[in-house]
Amino acid sequence: MIESIPKLEIVPVKKIVFHELSDEERVNRLAARIKQDKRLRNPVVVTKISKNKYMVLDGVTRANALKKLNYDNVLVQIVNYFSEDVQLSTWYHLITKHKKTGLLNKIKTLGNVQIKKLNKEKADTLLSKKEIVAYILFKDRTVYAISNGSEDLLAHVKTLREMVNIYSYNGEVYRVKYGEIDYLLDNYRNATGVLVIQNFSKRDIANVSLNNEMLPAGVTRHIISKRALGLNINLSFLKDAGALGEKNKLLKQYIREKVENKQIRFYPESIFYFDE
């Protein structure tokens, strides 16, 4: 059984890289909670993209909170990004507290950006072909496509990041699933519209990170099966940079004891977890 559990390891924080910016409000809240709890409940989920780089798939806020608190190491779960155990989808963004005309005028000030009014079907087609960066579906159901004259991945990432900077407040964005769009536009009083973002491939995400670029916060959504939760590692275990090999030996011993004492449970069904 010990071979079938998730691959857990302690790695230096300096080897952790990102494909997406952090949401600073969330980082600050979590850093305060971690400092109070003095424990890290769940590992950061990463994939190895080069000899000395682990890209974060889930736990951007957690990893940045540990960096903010000046921890040298981080507990990670290492997964194979291109396996079926990792599914990638996209969050859309609910835009609030903007006037439609004012928002479009601000977007027009960005370099090389073109805005065109389209019907939703045409916008969806262009987005699927990655001929536009994104489109905004406004509360009145008008649609405006945003392009930048390029189909280059990194150019699209840069434009998307600049757009999100316009409507995010203190770095915080409101993530939306596709099925929630109509309900939120109809019922959220301060809703301006929803930014509908192109779907990125796993290869796209790896290339963004390898090129030292980052998407704005709250774009990628990774669903990872066989997640390791509830390890509750004492933060003192992650503090100093030395003796990393010894730390990992102790981690393996800790996991082995959990296995031998039948303290690990695998739940194949979907669950609601109320303690996060």
Could you tell me which residues come within 8 angstroms of residue 186 by beta carbon, excluding any fewer than 6 positions away?
Answer: none
For residues 75 and 100, membership in a common domain is answered with: no
Q: What is the pLDDT of residue 236?
A: 82
265 located within any domain? no
Which residue segment(s) compose the domain that 46 sits in? 7-85+225-260
For residues 18 and 96, membership in a common domain is answered with: no
103 located within any domain? yes
13 located within any domain? yes
The pLDDT tens digits for 194-226 are 999 999 999 999 999 999 999 998 899 999 988
The pLDDT tens digits for 29-79 are 999 999 898 888 899 999 999 888 999 999 999 999 999 999 989 999 999
For residues 143 and 118, membership in a common domain is answered with: yes
For residues 180 and 105, membership in a common domain is answered with: yes
60 located within any domain? yes
Question: What pTM was computed for the model?
Answer: 0.86
58, amino acid identity = D
Alpha-carbon gap, residue 210 to 84, rounded angstroms: 22
Could you tell me which residues come within 8 angstroms of residue 76 by beta carbon, excluding any fewer than 6 positions away?
Answer: 8, 9, 10, 11, 16, 43, 44, 45, 46, 54
Nearest CA among 43, 46, 88 for reference residue 228: 43
Token pair in block for residue 175: 């993530």
> Which CATH number covers residue 177?
3.30.1760
For residues 70 and 96, membership in a common domain is answered with: no
> Which CATH number covers residue 237?
3.90.1530.10
| Number of domains comprising the chain | 2
| Dihedrals phi, psi of 95, to nearest 5 degrees | -100, 130
Alpha-carbon gap, residue 120 to 197, rounded angstroms: 13
Q: What is the pLDDT of residue 241?
A: 58
Read off the pLDDT band of 1 (50, 70, 90): very low
For residues 78 and 96, membership in a common domain is answered with: no
For residues 56 and 145, membership in a common domain is answered with: no
Alpha-carbon gap, residue 138 to 100, rounded angstroms: 7
